[in-house]
Amino acid sequence: MRDSKKPKVIILIGPPGSGKGTQAKLLSQKFHLKYLGSGDILRARQKISDFTGRKLKKIMNKGELAPSFVIIKILGDQLEKLKKEKIKGFVLDGWTRIIYEAILTDEALDWYGWQNSKVILIKISFKEAFNRLTKRRQCKRCGRLIPWIGEFKKLKVCDKCGGKLVQRPDDKPEVIRERLKEYKKETIPVINYYKRKEKLIEINGQQSIEDVFKDILKAIQN
Ligand SMILES: [Zn+2]
């Protein structure tokens, strides 16, 4: 594969529980791309004590999503900053949850001169997502999230620090069901949009983390 053909911008999409964050991080390591996860960046933004920082903190503590306007503004600020850095490209995770965000993200990428983006959809069934999210646990001591996949299902204590594993309060079945329904409604237009642009790569997410990663590598190197 010629270097110029490698995607410089990879956008990950997939339902909650699909493991897209994990795959995004693996991809950024493999191709030496910067990882831009909306979760981390929004949490960092909350620490700036201005109007948006304080308001973000308030709504995110309630479990509400940041509005698209704020998402795109923050993404734009990140891309502006990256113009001053020498980077090969980046992986976007969590910026294109709804159709407006997908369209505006493309405009922002064009504006800053990042062409050649690829979009990876990690597909898992509603049932699989529901199981993974309602059964995942968190370490009480170090906060590590233990996914409900493969060997991890057998863990009785945290594999990093030995701490006690508990269920997360926001992983209640009724909350998860609502989140998945919301995802389905908002994301189908996003998926169709990327399909029309011939950017979409669909990956079977119902495999081990390693096999999902292998499939992604095969697909983007083709
Ligand atoms: Zn732990």
pLDDT (tens digit per residue) in 67-91: 999 999 999 999 999 999 989 999 9
Distance separating alpha carbons of residues 48 and 129, to the nearest angstrom: 34
Structure tokens at 116: 């050649």
With CA atoms as reference, report the closest residue to 132 among 119, 122, 121: 122
pLDDT (tens digit per residue) in 19-62: 999 999 999 999 999 999 998 999 999 999 999 999 999 998 88
How far, in Å, is the centroid of ligand 1 from the Cα of 171? 18
How far, in Å, is the centroid of ligand 1 from the Cα of 167? 13
| Number of CB atoms found within 10 A of residue 197's CB | 12
Q: What mean pLDDT do residues 181-195 have?
A: 94
Distance separating alpha carbons of residues 38 and 43, to the nearest angstrom: 8
How far, in Å, is the centroid of ligand 1 from the Cα of 166? 11
How far, in Å, is the centroid of ligand 1 from the Cα of 145? 9
How far, in Å, is the centroid of ligand 1 from the Cα of 7? 35
Residues listed for the chain: 222
pLDDT of residue 151: 84
Distance separating alpha carbons of residues 27 and 36, to the nearest angstrom: 12
pLDDT (tens digit per residue) in 93-135: 999 999 999 999 999 999 999 988 999 999 999 999 999 988 8
Structure tokens at 80: 């502006």
pLDDT of residue 6: 61
pLDDT of residue 1: 47
Which residue numbers are catalytic? 20, 97, 136, 168, 179
pLDDT of residue 92: 97
Predicted TM-score (pTM) of the model is: 0.86
